[in-house]
Amino acid sequence: MELLNAFSDLQNKVVVVTGGYGYLGESITNVLAKYGCKVYVLARSVEKFNEKFCQNKSVYFKQTDVSNISSIEKSIQAIGNKEGKIDVLINNAYYGVTNHPEKMTSQEWRKGIEGGVNQFFDCIKNAIPFLKKSENGKIINVSSMYGVVVPDLTIYDGREEFLNPPNYGTAKAAVIHLTKYYAMYLGKYNITVNSIAPGPFPSAEVQKDKEFIKRLQDKTKLKRIGNPEDLHGIVLLLASSSSNYITGQNISIDGGWTL
C-alpha cells in the first residue's frame, strides 16, 4: 500500500500512449492503469488491443495510424475534447525499415526518420493545447540507447553483425534533442518533457536466439537483458508530480551499456 501511495497523484490522470500494446508499450500501459490512470492507447489494431487489455476497464483504445498526421490530430483532439485535458503524453510507437548501412535506400532512410521522430513532433504539437489544461502536464518520449551511442560492429561467425540500422539511431538521437527543445519551450506552462532511453529489451521472439542474447548480456554492466518491468519505476516517476522539477533530461535504462 505504501508503494501505491508514493504515486497517489496518478489517480484519474488522463494518459495517452502511442503504440501502447507493443512489447514495451503493454507494460507501460498496464503499470499506469494499475496506479489509477485512465490510459488511452493510440494504435491501429483493435484486435491486438483486445488481446492485451480486454479485462482492463481503465484502458481505452483509439484507432490511430501514427504515420498519418490527420489520424494523429483527430485522435488526440477527440481524447482532449472528451476528457477536457491530457495529463501525460507518452510517445512510444515506432515504425521504420532496417537494412545494412551500405545497402539502405534513400526511401528506407526517410521512412525510419519519419517513424522514429517525425510522428513524435506531430503528437506533441497536437497534445500541447490539452497538456496546458493539466496542472502538471508531462511528456515522456521513448528514445533508445542507440540515440546515445552507436551500435558496436561485431564480427560473429565470420560476418559483420550490426544491431541497428543508421536511421534508427539517428531518429532516436533526434528524439532526445526534440525533448530538450520542448522542455525549454513548455516550461512556462508547467509542462515537463523528458525522454527515456531503453537499452537491450529484446522481444520474446528474439530471446529464442540464446547466443545472441548472451552477447547482449555481456555488453551490459549488470550482465542481463532488460525486462519490460524495468521501465515501471522511471515511467511512474516521470508521469507523477514526484518529477515536477525534472525536465529536459534523457534517462538511460540500459543495465550500464552506455557507460
| Residue 259 included in any domain | no
Q: Number of folded domains in the chain?
A: 1
117 is a domain residue:
yes
Identify the CATH number of the domain in which residue 13 sits. Answer: 3.40.50.720
Evaluate whether residue 258 is within a structural domain.
no
pLDDT of the residue at 1: 46
The verdict on residue 51 lying in a domain is yes
Query: Does residue 85 lie in a domain region?
Result: yes
* Residues 246, 175: Cα–Cα separation, whole Å: 17
Residue 13 resides in a domain: yes
> What are 65-103's pLDDT values in tens digits?
999 999 999 999 999 999 999 999 999 999 999 998 999
Mean pLDDT of 140-163: 82
pLDDT at residue 129, as a whole number: 98
Torsions phi, psi for 156 (to 5 deg):
-130, 125
d(CA 31, CA 29): 6
Query: What's the distance, Cα to Cα, between the start and end of the chain in Å?
Result: 35
Separation between Cα atoms, residue 65 and residue 184, nearest integer Å: 28
Q: What pLDDT does 54 receive?
A: 87
Query: What residues make up the domain containing 238?
Result: 2-253
C-alpha cell at 97: 525499415
pLDDT digits (tens, 9 = 90+) for 37-49: 999 999 999 999 9
- Cα 55 to Cα 46: distance, rounded to the nearest angstrom: 14
The mean pLDDT of 104-108, rounded to a whole number, is: 97
Dihedral of alpha carbons 43, 48, 51, 52, sign = negative
Share above pLDDT 90 across residues of the chain, in percent, rounded to a whole number: 89
